[in-house]
Structure 1
Amino acid sequence: MSARPLPRRRGPLVGVAVAAVACLVLSACTSNEPEDSGDNETTASTVSSNDDTGDTVTIGFSGPAADHGWLAAINSSAQEAAEKYDDIELKFAEGTNDPSAQIAQVETFINDGVDAIVLLPTDGAALTETAIQAMEAGIPVINVDREFSSPFAARTTVLGDNYGMGVSAGTYACGLIEDNDISDPVIAEIAGIDALPLTQDRSQGFADALEACDQEVDRRVAAEFTVESGEEVAANLLQAEDKIDIIWNHDDDQGVGVKAAFDAAERDEFAFIGGAGSCNAMDWIEAGEMEATVIYPPTQAADGIKLARLIAQGKGLSDLVQVEVPKRVVLNAPVVSADNVAEYRDLCFDS
């Protein structure tokens, strides 16, 4: 299957919502070389290299069961980040989708007196009270991806930008329509689990971006973030629509099934845009079988580990004037196309 040749959108997208710090990989924000600070002790921490070995800190990490490519990448990226530092001792709990088991893991971290906890909760609301207990015990909690229901449960929260993913995908779609002078385009959307706020945010961002170029989604279906569901709903979509110009699929893991349905139906008249940034998606982009994908960073837990280390060592981000780590970090949602796929290849994950 070869995708219809379309002019590539060059340059950065405009209008992507990014809050707090927009570094995709925070290592770029924490590796300034030391500068001469004279005798002023109050400025020493803001100009020293944060990657230099400091006091050893023990960080507890609890994440999800690795039953999805992106989730597996979350766990492995946390371990890989910790291994880069001689001053991190990582206590890595077995991944779980059971909130009760994860609560027990966090309670163990508290009893062990770790210096910080990085937590991607199976259920943010269910883990909130236990996270508050850690904070009250003087252990900073770094909340990743799924938010707690209380601001008192985390010292810092690291998030991907679900709404921004939709905005990026929609803005890119508008560019394709303009560049190819497509009149009355048929735009389809393959969402994930509709009941999840993250799916709703992605769809809202997509709709808002399309509205900016006077377009709307003509056909929307929802899958379940699995290969099987992706293939089923994509096959049904193709049967229902004889002609489609652009399809945005929210998730590159379910995209394996979506792509299989496209191949089986021998349909390639549309521009296929994905979401998350899997290695499969980047392979398809390089092969001309996919137009683009929108990154939802699998580095969030790795960034959480790096921030936990800085917080536990009393440091801030060296590229910021502010001397403390921000309370909230929302990562960017860039579009990866044939023009820049090489830049993002190292961040892809297996699906």
Structure 2
Amino acid sequence: MKLKSTLFAATAMALTAFGADAAEVKRLGLAVTNLQADYFNQIKIGVEEYAKELGIEVITVDAKNDGATQVSQVQDLLTQDIDALIYLPAGAAAAAVPARLAKAQGIPVVNVDRNADDEPGDTFIATDNATSAYEVCKHVIGLAGGAGKMIMIHGQKGTTPEVERTKGCMQAIGENPGVELVAQQWSNQWSQAEGLDISQNLLQANPDVTIIFGQADGLALGAAQGVKVSGVEQRVYIGGFDGDTTALPILAEGGFDATATQQVRGIGRLAVDSAVKLAAGETLPAEQLLPGYLTTPENAGEYVAEHP
């Protein structure tokens, strides 16, 4: 098993010593989707801890999943003399507006987790969602013997991770003709409560399902609850995504079957690194994708111990 030193090697290699460039950056704006979600909170911690090491102030705002609120928050951030904006869009609909506003003022934008096709950030940082979702779905399909009826519980429709995780899982389904995707539904909050409600409804209509992919660990945990309360007799194999600090211990105990553990604080550190470089006038790749790690009950315990 590869522990933390290897788990975050890709991120560590991307971080550099800044010298005078870092000293020129005094303040960053951080616009976060929803700090009630562990995933986003861990990215925030990664940004703030690393920025503190570099002597950079971070002004953080939480949109609580509301796009209009986030637009207003970013407008306010842009009046506070920030050198760059680290931006985690609260939804697909208004994702382009804050980036457009920042760029109009000459402020570089680092988009994290979600991007907007019509107004992307100067660089986009995320987990390689498609590849990681493919690995999770391939794994749970394999556990089910490569065949069976399947449900997919999506994240927020149209957001980058939802689109990419769908793409990856559909690839795995396409490679297994014995698998039939019998139902799918989109969530709004990627939450455990939604995972429970959606899985109960879909299992009532499809009681012979043996595979479920929830596009976030919250959705997968809710689906695991839904399987229990629905009273289905067959074994149902459940995959999630994120490697949340709350979900990994449950996975280690066999509460569900697989997830993709993201380098959440590493993503935050890379976002700061990128913001500093952009503020110094450097050009960065349009996308910076970090690997997610297939995590199962067999290796989850070590990810729990080594989680950042």
- For Structure 1 versus Structure 2, the TM-score category normalised by the shorter chain is 0.7 to 0.9
Q: Match for 2:199: what amino acid? A: A
Partner of 1:229: 194
Give the secondary-structure state (helix, strand or coil) at the position aligned to 2:199.
helix
1:227 and 1:188, CA in 2 relative to 1: closer, same or farther beyond 3 A? same
Hey, what's the Cα distance between the residues in 2 that align with 1:192 and 1:222? Answer: 6
Hey, what's the Cα distance between the residues in 1 that align with 2:131 and 2:245? Answer: 21
C-alpha displacement at 1:250, in angstroms?
1.8
C-alpha displacement at 1:336, in angstroms?
0.8
Q: Determine whether 1:204 maps to 2:189.
A: no
1:230 and 1:96, CA in 2 relative to 1: closer, same or farther beyond 3 A? closer
| Higher percent of residues as strand | 2
1:69 and 1:222, CA in 2 relative to 1: closer, same or farther beyond 3 A? farther
Q: Determine whether 1:345 maps to 2:304.
A: yes
Hey, what's the Cα distance between the residues in 1 that align with 2:276 and 2:297? Answer: 36
Correspondence list, 1:281-300, <5 A: 281-296=247-262, 298-299=264-265, 300=267
Partner of 1:274: 240
TM-score (norm: length of structure 2): 0.78
Q: Match for 1:78: what amino acid? A: V
C-alpha displacement at 1:290, in angstroms?
2.2
Unaligned ranges ≥5, structure 1: 1-9, 12-21, 32-48, 316-323
Correspondence list, 1:138-177, <5 A: 138-151=106-119, 154-176=121-143
1:250 and 1:107, CA in 2 relative to 1: closer, same or farther beyond 3 A? closer
C-alpha displacement at 1:230, in angstroms?
1.6
1:155-209: CA deviation from partner (whole Å, max 9, x where unpaired): 21113334334312232235435xxxx3x72142231257435434423321222
Hey, what's the Cα distance between the residues in 2 that align with 1:142 and 1:194? Answer: 21
Query: Please, what is the CA RMSD of the aligned residues?
Result: 3.5
Partner of 2:12: 27
1:255 and 1:116, CA in 2 relative to 1: closer, same or farther beyond 3 A? same
Hey, what's the Cα distance between the residues in 1 that align with 2:21 and 2:132? Answer: 36
Is the contact made by 2:253 and 2:297 (CA closer than 8 Å) also made in structure 1? no
Give the secondary-structure state (helix, strand or coil) at the position aligned to 1:113.
coil
Hey, what's the Cα distance between the residues in 2 that align with 1:260 and 1:51? Answer: 51
Hey, what's the Cα distance between the residues in 1 that align with 2:118 and 2:135? Answer: 29
Q: Match for 2:196: what amino acid? A: E
Is the contact made by 2:126 and 2:289 (CA closer than 8 Å) also made in structure 1? yes
1:105-135: CA deviation from partner (whole Å, max 9, x where unpaired): 3333333332211111224563535423433
Correspondence list, 1:98-247, <5 A: 98-123=66-91, 126=94, 128-151=96-119, 154-176=121-143, 182=145, 185-193=147-155, 195-197=157-159, 198-222=161-185, 224=187, 225-241=190-206, 243-247=208-212
Give the secondary-structure state (helix, strand or coil) at the position aligned to 2:225.
helix
Greater RCO, 1 or 2 (C-alpha within 8 Å, sep 6+): 1
Hey, what's the Cα distance between the residues in 2 that align with 1:204 and 1:236? Answer: 24
Hey, what's the Cα distance between the residues in 2 that align with 1:216 and 1:143? Answer: 35
Is the contact made by 2:154 and 2:166 (CA closer than 8 Å) also made in structure 1? no
Correspondence list, 1:30-69, <5 A: 30=15, 49-50=17-18, 54-57=22-25, 58-69=27-38
User: What is the percent sequence identity of the aligned residues?
Assistant: 20
Hey, what's the Cα distance between the residues in 2 that align with 1:214 and 1:59? Answer: 49
Is the contact made by 2:67 and 2:90 (CA closer than 8 Å) also made in structure 1? yes
Hey, what's the Cα distance between the residues in 2 that align with 1:271 and 1:24? Answer: 31
Is the contact made by 1:249 and 1:275 (CA closer than 8 Å) also made in structure 2? yes
Q: Determine whether 1:73 maps to 2:48.
A: no
Q: Determine whether 1:332 maps to 2:300.
A: no
Is the contact made by 2:123 and 2:288 (CA closer than 8 Å) also made in structure 1? yes
C-alpha displacement at 1:53, in angstroms?
9.2
Give the secondary-structure state (helix, strand or coil) at the position aligned to 2:78.
helix
Is the contact made by 2:252 and 2:298 (CA closer than 8 Å) also made in structure 1? no
Give the secondary-structure state (helix, strand or coil) at the position aligned to 1:65.
coil
Q: Match for 1:167: what amino acid? A: Y
C-alpha displacement at 1:74, in angstroms?
3.6
Q: Match for 1:247: what amino acid? A: I
Partner of 2:60: 92
If you compute each CA radius of gyration, which structure gives the higher value, 1 or 2? 1
Aligned length: 298
